[in-house]
Amino acid sequence: LTETNAKPIWHPMAHPAEMRANPPKVIMKGEGVMVTDIAGNTVLDAVGGLWNVNLGYSCDPIKKAIADQLGALPYYSGFRGTSTGPSIELAYELCEWFEPEGMVRTFFTSGGSDSVETALRLARQYWKIRGQADRTKFIALKKGYHGTHFGGASVNGNANFRRNYEPLLPGVFHIPAPWTFRNPFDETDPVRLAKLCARALEDEIAFQGGDTIAAFIMEPVLGAGGVIVPHESFMPQVREICDRHEILLIADEVVTGFGRTGAWSGSRLSGVKPDFMTIAKAITSGYFPLGATLIGAKVADVFEADKTSFGAIGHGYTYSGHPVGCAAGLAALAETKRLRLNENAAARGVELAAVLEGLKAKHAIVGDVRYKGLMAALELVSDRATKKPADKKTMALVSEAAYEAGVMLRVSGNAIILSPPLIVSAADVARIGEALDAGLSKV
């Protein structure tokens, strides 16, 4: 095994030829918040795997739960007719965890893209059961990210993820995200911008006809699009508009679920009760692939009281409710709660915000910094006045220099994205800041 022999893998979100020219870092070991590559470099993982390893790499209770479950029963299907203990227990746990969001039922999936697909499909089915089969359209936010299945890719608000796979789902429409740094209204005030974007939703609904729309989907804090943090007044306005037009609201909480923003969910930041929540990633802290679509009472009631021919769920995965994944989830959630990771995310997030504001004041290349809890981004620009995005080479230089300084960063377009494990200490946050400073000083 060497750094250059990863050729048989086509890596996600990468050009195969580019990967041959710039081979991946091969990560061999992880401990706490640190990972070690094949060359022996040990660095702080400021990416947290991929927004998911909230508990770091040495969480013994999760490892033990996985080993115990492998010993007892490595797999059984959760299809009609059979179920397993850990999946039933975890379903109860999730409904309790997200009771404030009004969630009452769990549909297990294998990851985030599956969870989004499930929510979109169940939203369509809900309207069929209710005799409104014309409600098929979806509205979403530009810059939103909702995974890579055909449905999820269709509602993605970044054309780069869609264009190679067109034609996608018809009847999907996007409105501007409340992104103060760049928006079509040239509005920098977050409260006014939230109102303008909410009005854009109203306008789109009026244009399409409210009774043709199945659901609106949004991330409460947009992650992969570059950590765009809507003002807390935005989601309640969306909920009110959706209610008035009877449109279902899907909160994609694949990143924001389980404490990353400092609250247990992104919806809880503004007290909104969505109709579906999609979760994955930190549900097992990355130790096992698992996701879930959580279902609110209004939708659950319609399915459970159904007497039409549309009520049976014709959707599911071989690994829906995988017992090892669910055992990992139960252990991860118990640890997450015991360590009060939401509180650590909030406290360390305040420190990280101060670090990022300091870097923005020091380095002209930092056009904007955005953060909520322990999800954060620095947007790099070649010119602050024109906001011209920094080029690929610059981004690579910054992240390589930071790696040499001992911190793994993630680059997405002209943004550096930070999502460290939620167990980070104040010293870890300072270290991330120092490595960023070293990287930014290089350019």
Binding site for ligand PMP (CB under 6 A): 111-113, 116, 145-147, 219, 223-224, 252, 254-255, 280
Which residues have CB under 8 Å from 386's CB, separation 6+? none
* Cis peptide bond upstream of 167, omega within 30: yes
Nearer to ligand PMP, 252 or 275 (CB): 252
Single out the residue of 410, 394, 401 nearest to residue 434, CA to CA: 401
> And the tokens for 139?
């509205």
What SS3 state is found at 68?
Answer: helix
Nearer to ligand PMP, 198 or 228 (CB): 228
Q: Which of residues 91 and 251 has its CB atom nearest to ligand PMP in the complex?
A: 251
Nearer to ligand PMP, 291 or 296 (CB): 291
Query: Minimum CB separation from ligand PMP for residue 382, in Å?
Result: 27
Of the candidates 259, 239, 263, the residue with the CA atom closest to the CA atom of residue 249: 239
Q: Judged by CB, which is closer to ligand PMP: 30, or 112?
A: 112
CB of 28 to ligand PMP, least distance (A): 23
Amino acid sitting at position 300: A
Helix/strand/coil for 27: strand
Give helix then strand counts, H and E, for the chain: 14, 16
**Minimal distance, residue 148 CB to ligand PMP, in Å:** 6
How long a stretch of residues is the chain?
A: 443
Task: Judge whether 320 and 110 are in contact, CB under 8 Å.
Answer: yes
- Residue with structure tokens 């890719």? 153
Residue type, 327: A
**What stretches of 156-230 show up as alpha helix (H) in DSSP?**
190-208
SS3 for 41? coil
- Phi/psi at 437 (nearest 5 deg)? -60, -45
Q: Compute the distance between CA of residue 195 and CA of residue 159 in angstroms, rounded to an integer.
A: 25
| Shortest separation between residue 32's beta carbon and ligand PMP, angstroms | 23
Handedness of CA 149, 266, 381, 440 (dihedral sign): negative
The residue (of 140 and 356) whose beta carbon lies closer to ligand PMP is 140
For the chain, what is the radius of gyration of the CA atoms?
Answer: 22
Minimal distance, residue 409 CB to ligand PMP, in Å: 16
Question: Which CB atom, from 224 or from 366, has the smaller least distance to ligand PMP?
Answer: 224
Query: In this chain, which residue has its C-beta nearest to ligand PMP?
Result: 112
Min. distance of Cβ 229 from ligand PMP in angstroms?
14
Q: From the CB of 420, what's the least distance to ligand PMP, in Å?
A: 16
Residue 55, token pair as written in the block = 């508990």
Q: How far is the CB of 120 from ligand PMP (least distance, A)?
A: 12
Nearer to ligand PMP among residue 329 and residue 439 (C-beta)? 329
Residue among 194 and 280 whose Cβ is closer to ligand PMP: 280
